[in-house]
């Protein structure tokens, strides 16, 4: 038996909780190893000193301090885990959707032929472009759908906790609507 294993069993030996299958090998090791016998003597002295003392009463502040540290650790861990959807994330989703839509348009010969006429429309006429059927409106609709799908997928993969945090941050940034007074009905 090696000293490392013997030292691991010494605490159980002193407390008389070491299993019978480990007792004989440990005692055989203690007969030959002076270092482990010395460690056993120290542990027995500690156990004897603690056996006569009154139980140690924890200070009143200890529980509150431990709970405060646990709460601070959990807050730090959840803050590190929190996923927030920033404006840069939204712009990145729009950029990726734009690139994907452009590739979609460039790879389809019919849409590629209509690309110059689509870009010739001005952006104030975007609603009429979307309302009129044709390849240009399909590309714009696909762009909007892909932006929404990208943001939705990011929120779904992020989890319920992140979605609620995102909704809270979004509601804080949007203007608040005035609350209507509640009408009381007579009973």
Handedness of CA 49, 50, 51, 56 (dihedral sign): positive
Q: In the predicted model, what is the mean pLDDT of the chain?
A: 75
When pLDDT is averaged across residues 151-167 and rounded to a whole number, the result is 74
Which comes out higher in pLDDT, residue 113 or 6? 6
Encode pLDDT of 64-73 as tens digits: 999 999 999 8
Q: pTM surpassing 0.75?
A: no
Given its phi and psi angles, is residue 92 left (phi above 0), alpha (psi -120 to 50 degrees) or beta?
A: alpha
Cα angle 148-161-157, degrees, rounded to a multiple of 5? 45
pLDDT at 122: 44
**Tokens in use for 83?**
């996923």
Report the distance separating Cα 129 and Cα 121, nearest Å.
Answer: 8
List the structure tokens of 126.
Answer: 């975007």
Contact 154, 93 (CB under 8 A): yes
């Amino acid at each position: 038996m090696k000293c490392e294993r013997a030292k691991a069993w010494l605490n159980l030996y002193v407390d008389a909780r070491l299993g019978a299958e480990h007792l004989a090998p440990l005692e055989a090791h203690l007969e030959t190893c002076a270092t482990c016998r010395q460690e056993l003597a120290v542990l027995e002295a500690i156990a004897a000193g603690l056996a006569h003392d009154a139980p140690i009463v924890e200070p009143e502040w200890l529980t509150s301090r431990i709970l405060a540290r646990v709460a601070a650790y959990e807050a730090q861990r959840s803050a590190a885990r929190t996923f927030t959807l920033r404006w840069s994330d939204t712009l990145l989703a729009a950029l990726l959707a734009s690139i994907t839509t452009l590739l979609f348009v460039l790879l389809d010969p019919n849409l590629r032929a209509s690309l110059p006429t689509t870009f010739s429309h001005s952006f104030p006429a975007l609603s009429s472009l979307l309302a009129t059927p044709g390849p240009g409106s399909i590309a714009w609709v696909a762009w909007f759908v892909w932006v929404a799908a990208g943001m939705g997928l990011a929120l779904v993969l992020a989890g319920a906790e992140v979605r609620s945090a995102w909704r809270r941050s979004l509601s804080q940034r949007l203007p608040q609507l005035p609350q209507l007074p509640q009408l009381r009905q007579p009973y």
